[in-house]
Amino acid sequence: MGDWLTFWNSPHPIYVNDLHRDVHYRDVALQIHALIPGPSATVVDYGCGDTTAAHLVAEAAAAVILSDGAASVRDALAGRYKNNPKIAVRAPQEVTALPPHSVQLIVINSVAQYLAREQFAELMAAFHRLLSRDGRLVVGDVIPPHTSAVTEIVALLRLAWHNGFVGAALVGLARTLFSDYRALRRKLGLTHYTEAEMLSVLAKAGFAARRRYPNLEHNQERMTFVAEPMHNS
């Protein structure tokens, strides 16, 4: 994770411009909003990135905890949401130290690919401990094996077409060819899961899970899973 954390801690070209970033986070936040079980819920967005739309999640919850491994991201989030009493920013280790069964919804979106399988499995076990008996875990944007770069490009251009940043998307795609992200992705690789593999990982961590359609993000070749804790009777 050290190299990936260095990358996320510095300026990066993941989003082609601010509009792309804001559209992305708005769309994800609206889907999280729809998954919140009720107005008294505590929600954890783990690996939240530089979300600009957490206020949309907070509208439907009692408390929202934003967590990211990159200190610079957490600093930016703390500044952005300092006047929203429902939103708190926490480091990952602070999240896993929360009291047992104190969270009703945990979302971990577009994170699994950056963790080794052992790290991810340990994190799922920690989440099982944190969730209330009727809580819910959402694992989003999981990358299956043999994904197509063409599909990724088409999905981005479709999003850009519908939201008015096609020109910036084309420039951004060209820039990505020479970016640190592409170089780091070649060096470290990403962790991929088949649908069956992800369901197995979640089952071993104590969850009953199913695949959710649509995926939380715009690329529908990637997968989202909704899981609920299993408890011994």
Cα distance between residue 7 and residue 27, in whole Å: 24
- Quick one: average pLDDT of 97-118? 96
pLDDT band for position 112 (cuts 50, 70, 90): very high
Q: What is the pLDDT of residue 103?
A: 98
The number of residues making up the chain comes to 233
pLDDT of amino acid 147: 81
pLDDT of residue 233: 46
| Ordered domains of the chain (ranges, CATH) | 2-229 (3.40.50.150)
- Quote the CA–CA distance of 130 and 147 in Å, as a whole number: 32
pLDDT at 9 over 80: no
d(CA 61, CA 123): 23
Q: Half-sphere exposure of 98 toward its Cβ, with a 13 Å CA cutoff? A: 23
Per-residue pLDDT tens for 20-67? 889 999 999 999 999 999 999 999 999 999 999 999 999 999 999 999
Read off the pLDDT of each residue in 139-152 and give the average, rounded to a whole number.
88
What was the pLDDT predicted at 181? Answer: 57
Q: Which residues contact 45 (CB under 8 A, 6 or more apart)?
A: 32, 51, 54, 57, 64, 65, 66, 67, 107, 109
State pLDDT tens for residues 175-207.
765 555 555 566 657 899 999 999 999 999 999
The verdict on whether omega for the bond into residue 13 sits within 30 degrees of 0, i.e. cis, is no
Q: What is the pLDDT of residue 183?
A: 58
